[in-house]
Amino acid sequence: MADGIRFEEIDSGSELENMARKMYCSKPVHFERQGFTTLCRSYFKKPYAVLNNGEFIGM
């Protein structure tokens, strides 16, 4: 793994969730959804943020 890159689970209501939702909504094609984290956790999955030296860079 590259230096400074880490993965952190996205908790419901967290700042990481807000950043992930903002990134998702910035895409040209997306759907407005209630319960963004609940949707990301469907089928027993866990959403993770990708951080580079503590800065959110994706999910």
pLDDT at position 55 is 93
DSSP string, 1-37: --TTEEEEEPPTTSHHHHHHHHHHHTSSS----SSHH
pLDDT at position 1 is 58
Query: What is the reported pTM?
Result: 0.73
Cα–Cα separations (whole angstroms), residue 12 to 6, 8, 9, 35: 19, 13, 10, 9
pLDDT in tens, 10-47: 988 899 989 988 888 888 877 776 767 777 778 778 88
Measured between alpha carbons, how far is 27 from 54 in angstroms, rounded to an integer?
A: 23
